[in-house]
Structures are given as C-alpha cells and as structure tokens.
Structure 1
Amino acid sequence: MMRPLTIAACFALTLVAATAAAQEPAKAPAPAAASTAAPAAAKGNPETGRMLTYTCQGCHGVQGYKNAYPNYHVPKIVGQSPEYLVNALTEYKKGARKHPTMQAQAQSFSDQDIADIAAFLSSAK
C-alpha cells in the first residue's frame, strides 16, 4: 500500500514542477526554475477552492455515502494532503483514474482550479 502512495506523491511533485517550469520560462534554467517555483505552483487560493468545491459536498460531505452504480465508497477528501488531491484530480482529468462522475468534474478544472481545490480541502476541517 505504501508504494502506490509514494509513486503518487512523486507524480504529483513532478506535475507541480513541470507546471511551474512552464509558467516561468524567463527565469533560470529549467531545473533551477522547477525546484524554486514548485512550492508556489502547488499553493492554490483556498477561498477560490472553497467556491469550486461547492458541488463536491453532495457526495463527499455525507458520512458513509456510497454511489448506487457502480457501488463505490465515496472517500473523505477534507484534510487530505494537497499533493494527494492534486494527483487524484489530475489522474481523473487525464482518465488514469476511472469514475465517470469524477472524470467529468475533473475535466472541467484548469490546473489552477485543481491547486485551489487542493489548497481549500487540505486546510478545511
């Protein structure tokens, strides 16, 4: 169980570094820009994220809720790490994680939206 989480965390950090490098091409060479800009790219706006997660509460805000078809356990997302949330939403967006509702939701989000959502959900109680 630890290996997939480690791989997921590495993927999330790689994605954040690549996004940061793409957003700041005029700075230092790519490796330096990616390492210095990665934390800034990972940080989203929690207030914007709160607005974006309004519909998430319909499923994720109900204790013990399961979808009717297919029968998935709906995980608690509040308090998860931002890296996990960014990775999960990005995988749904790309189709690597399979759940029709989550794929449809994630495809509507920009990378900044995903960072904002992760910032809010990871800090919410």
Structure 2
Amino acid sequence: MHIHLACLFGLALSPVVAAAQGAAPPSTQQCRVCHALDGTGTNPMIPNIGGQSAEYLSKQLQDFRAGRREDPQMSIIAESLSDDDIRELAAWFASVNASFTLPE
C-alpha cells in the first residue's frame, strides 16, 4: 500500500482551526478509507476511533510507527507519519462527538 504524501503533508492546517471550521485536516484523507471521516470503522474488524482521547490515539499511532504494535496496513501507514501528523490526527478524531445507545 503506497501512501500519497500530498494528502499527508499537502496543507498545514492546525487541528484546532480545522475543527473550528469543520474542515478535516488533509492527513485524515487516508484514514477515511477504513475509519471514515467521523472515525467509525467501515467494517466490523476496524475499530471506531472517533471520540477516543487524543492521548490514546497518539499512543496507538506512535506504537504502530515504532513497531511496538503491528497491523499489516496500520504499520505501513504510521511509519510515514510525523509527530505533527500524529498530533493532528489524534486531535481531529478526538474532537468527534461520539454518542452511544445502551441496550435495554
């Protein structure tokens, strides 16, 4: 799987500005394929990341990048992410307002 670097590094929007304007940062482009823009996994084997804490998301991406956590796709994707990309992605997906319905 090749990473389209223009999507990852093309525009330099801060996550705060992007979230305030409702625009997803460019680094979410590749994430959308599996996690959708709102962080909802597109199939049952893909976790929902929308609404997770930024600290948790950052740690997972750093672990994939460092090889401490492995997944055939995420390991490849994460290895090209900079620290700024990770902060931006974690801030975006953490800013998603996830809601849950408990079973009756």
When normalised by structure 1's length, the TM-score is 0.54
Higher relative contact order at CA 8 Å, sep ≥6: structure 1 or structure 2?
1
**Larger CA Rg, structure 1 vs 2:** 1
The superposition leaves residues 18-61 of structure 1 with CA deviations (integer Å, 9 ceiling, x where unpaired) of xxxxxxxxxxxxxxxxxxxxxxxxxxx31396210112111112
Matched, 1:86 2:64: no
Which structure shows the higher helix fraction?
1
- 1:53-92 superposed matches below 5 A: 53-61=28-36, 63=41, 65-66=43-44, 73-92=45-64
Contact 1:49 1:113 in 2 (8 A): no
Task: After the TM superposition, list the runs of 4 or more consecutive aligned residues in structure 1 that deviate by more than 2 angstroms.
Answer: 47-50, 61-64
Cα drift, residue 79 of structure 1: 0.8
Identical positions, percent: 36
- 1:38-53 superposed matches below 5 A: 45-46=14-15, 47=18, 50-53=25-28
CA distance in 1, matches of 2:41, 2:62: 25
Count of residue pairs brought into register by the alignment: 76
CA distance in 1, matches of 2:82, 2:88: 10
Gapped regions of structure 1 (runs ≥ 5): 1-44, 67-72
AA of the residue aligned to 2:32? Q
AA of the residue aligned to 2:68? A
When normalised by structure 2's length, the TM-score is 0.64
